[in-house]
Structure 1
């Protein structure tokens, strides 16, 4: 493994402050913040009844949230390379608190679309924290640290569905968003108190910083490959989760939002593998790991297609899907963070904007596929997106 002078500088200056408790705090903060993007998924059927909307119309709530997240990452995450990150995180958490209140008080579809877009734009704190953790970690354990912080993010993604399904099913979906707003306000106070002060890694102006991301796309082949794969993987992931609540409330299951949310607990089994994947990425070829994990995701959709009407088939499929998608993300981020250390926030921005644009497309396609073709359309659409990611990986591997 090659270690650059920049990596050694990062290690000497920052690794001494990266304690286990700080890694745990970063992991917790990422999970709690990213959950804002996923509270809506088990509640879409309930929201549809509130606004008298079709499954496709209400599925756009997830799409707008993920589009907003992509916009927010493009606008705010690059600032992590040029601004003090702790202050940036605090400002963003206050903004997302206001946005969540907007969702909780929505009176029609247009209102909740705009509020959901705002939630996505302002819920970019995890993507400011992750490059900070990568900066502070020693080069030889960067994959492990990223995997640990990302595991908190993954648990937040999955448990958000469980929590929102339970609260939404018992107290109503609006209560979930009031609770989320209160949690973000509390998190702002905690992180302001305990996160270490960071220092800018570039002297570029904001305009030049944004322009430099285009240069990174042109010059960094690994970044392009990882971004395309990430977009297809998260698109396939979103197709499933956007449609699940509609599938479960009909035949043969007839379950409510609480049960749809419980599937988030099943996915925790897959997310628990993120730190292990990170350690493997430190020791093995991260690119080979990506291929293995995409293949696991393809298998998940085979289970959805062949055995989706059986509960055990859904459970196995969810475990495989979450392990494959989340593990691919850890491996991809380990690869891109090693490219240009002083540009980690910008590299992460390019990757995650692509990732969530793919997710927004998947959310829209998933709700549309369900509306037109029901479950057969869902598993065929999601499976096709995953296979496209595998093709991108294969083509780039052949060209190398």
Structure 2
């Protein structure tokens, strides 16, 4: 059964007459990829509603406990640059299985840590290994046929969206039942299961050709982006849309948990679940990119993204309006994100792993910029200031798309 599935998967992208049948055989694998991506990216976000408990457990000042998130993001950034490009050099099957297994080990370290130094080291490792998400996205683009690539990437990306938006809610519920350590130990068990499942399902194939050394591969990343206008445009769009995304999700907990709403972490997490509409958009945007409509999909999504900040601004008047805005924002961000990846993968099929690593660096920069700006603006101007900031990031993305829409795939 496994051998047959593997052979079917290996025919993807070869122009075989059995392409349609092969793609059908990959549906289970794509689902496993999506679930693995969701679980892996969730590991980065589990700590956000647990910071108070972690601060108490390790006697960390509430003012400095945010460094737990910083260490996790630092590990993720290092993984993007140093681990993800390995997908162009080594057998991706071995790389994916190793990363998921080591993620389970890192999660056990965090869940059993009794010294703050061990906790910090574990969080760095969790972030470092979570980049298996990007390896899987590049792997998906390689396995899929050209006509189905956008759809496949969209499906896997929907798992990422689900993981990001549900992590806070899941973390809060599990912590309420068994404490903050149970969150990481539960995830460790699940990651172990996924590692074994991937080892069984992934196609066995020889390592990809590696004419370049590891050092040359790393050096080629900035060169690719400096030489290709399409990559530059899509990288800037990634920075701006994720700055808008991070502006919302970093600052949202502040007004919802404070007077006069005083919502619990579980209730706040429900807004993340509302944003799961973005998971649906991810797959749909991939299909449109497959049809050559990537540019117009981007433009429409950016219009919706900018518009979403109007209902979001009415948070204190209507939580329903907020929910509508959250759905529009997440849908729009993921539509642009999937389109970006579909277009850059098609442009440079020989360098998909290093491309996704470089692209996601801009995602990280945008996320960091949005987070820092949002908390600062909220301190001085409140929620109205945050809504204006998010609209500025979104509007800048729309304007930039309008000026550069002639670059890349025609709509």
Task: Report the secondary structure of 2:405's partner residue.
Answer: helix
CA contact (8 A) 2:141 2:153 kept: yes
CA shift in 2, pair 1:68/1:255, >3 Å = same
Residue 390, structure 1, aligned to residue 389, structure 2: no
CA shift in 2, pair 1:293/1:113, >3 Å = farther
1:352-371 aligned at under 5 Å gives the runs 352-371=360-379
Residue 181, structure 1, aligned to residue 210, structure 2: no
CA contact (8 A) 2:34 2:158 kept: yes
Residue 143, structure 1, aligned to residue 138, structure 2: no
CA contact (8 A) 2:13 2:144 kept: no
CA shift in 2, pair 1:54/1:212, >3 Å = same
Number of the residue aligned with 2:212 = 204
Please give the alpha-carbon distance, in whole angstroms, between the structure 1 residues aligned to 2:125 and 2:326: 29
CA contact (8 A) 1:59 1:242 kept: no
CA shift in 2, pair 1:227/1:308, >3 Å = farther
CA shift in 2, pair 1:345/1:399, >3 Å = closer
Which of 162, 166, 174 aligns to 1:167? It is: 174
Structure showing greater relative contact order (alpha-carbon pairs closer than 8 Å, 6 or more residues apart): 1
CA contact (8 A) 1:43 1:245 kept: no
- CA deviations 1:12-52 (Å, max 9, x no partner) are 49953752111212122111212112223344455566656
Please give the alpha-carbon distance, in whole angstroms, between the structure 2 residues aligned to 1:263 and 1:312: 10
Please give the alpha-carbon distance, in whole angstroms, between the structure 2 residues aligned to 1:14 and 1:367: 53
Which of 84, 106, 112 aligns to 1:99? It is: 106
1:108-257 aligned at under 5 Å gives the runs 114-198=121-205, 199-257=207-265
Residue 276, structure 1, aligned to residue 279, structure 2: no
Number of the residue aligned with 2:387 = 379
Residue 82, structure 1, aligned to residue 51, structure 2: no
By how many angstroms is 1:372 displaced? 4.8
By how many angstroms is 1:278 displaced? 1.2
Q: Which moved more, 1:339-348 or 1:385-394?
A: 385-394
CA contact (8 A) 1:159 1:265 kept: yes
CA contact (8 A) 2:309 2:391 kept: yes
CA contact (8 A) 2:13 2:145 kept: no
Please give the alpha-carbon distance, in whole angstroms, between the structure 1 residues aligned to 2:339 and 2:364: 17
CA contact (8 A) 2:157 2:279 kept: no
Please give the alpha-carbon distance, in whole angstroms, between the structure 2 residues aligned to 1:215 and 1:240: 33
Please give the alpha-carbon distance, in whole angstroms, between the structure 2 residues aligned to 1:112 and 1:13: 52
CA contact (8 A) 1:59 1:367 kept: no
By how many angstroms is 1:112 displaced? 5.0
- CA deviations 1:205-238 (Å, max 9, x no partner) are 1111111112101111111111111122112212
Please give the alpha-carbon distance, in whole angstroms, between the structure 1 residues aligned to 2:140 and 2:363: 20
By how many angstroms is 1:139 displaced? 0.8
Please give the alpha-carbon distance, in whole angstroms, between the structure 2 residues aligned to 1:377 and 1:62: 24
Task: Report the secondary structure of 2:276's partner residue.
Answer: helix
By how many angstroms is 1:192 displaced? 1.3
CA contact (8 A) 1:43 1:257 kept: no
Task: Report the secondary structure of 1:272's partner residue.
Answer: helix
Number of the residue aligned with 2:314 = 306
CA shift in 2, pair 1:324/1:211, >3 Å = same
Number of the residue aligned with 2:72 = 65
Q: Point out the structure with the larger helix share.
A: 1
Please give the alpha-carbon distance, in whole angstroms, between the structure 2 residues aligned to 1:22 and 1:259: 33
Task: Report the secondary structure of 2:263's partner residue.
Answer: coil
CA shift in 2, pair 1:171/1:8, >3 Å = closer
Tell me how large the CA RMSD over aligned residues is. Answer: 2.7
Task: Report the secondary structure of 1:203's partner residue.
Answer: coil
CA contact (8 A) 1:143 1:278 kept: yes
Runs of 5+ unmatched residues, structure 2: 1-10
CA shift in 2, pair 1:224/1:268, >3 Å = same
Q: Which moved more, 1:207-216 or 1:90-99?
A: 90-99
Number of the residue aligned with 2:302 = 294
TM-score (ref. length: structure 2): 0.86
Task: Report the secondary structure of 2:404's partner residue.
Answer: helix
CA contact (8 A) 1:10 1:135 kept: no
Number of the residue aligned with 1:29 = 36
Count of residue pairs the alignment pairs up: 393
By how many angstroms is 1:107 displaced? 6.1
Number of the residue aligned with 1:260 = 268
Please give the alpha-carbon distance, in whole angstroms, between the structure 2 residues aligned to 1:361 and 1:47: 25
Please give the alpha-carbon distance, in whole angstroms, between the structure 2 residues aligned to 1:358 and 1:110: 29
Runs of 5+ unmatched residues, structure 1: 1-6
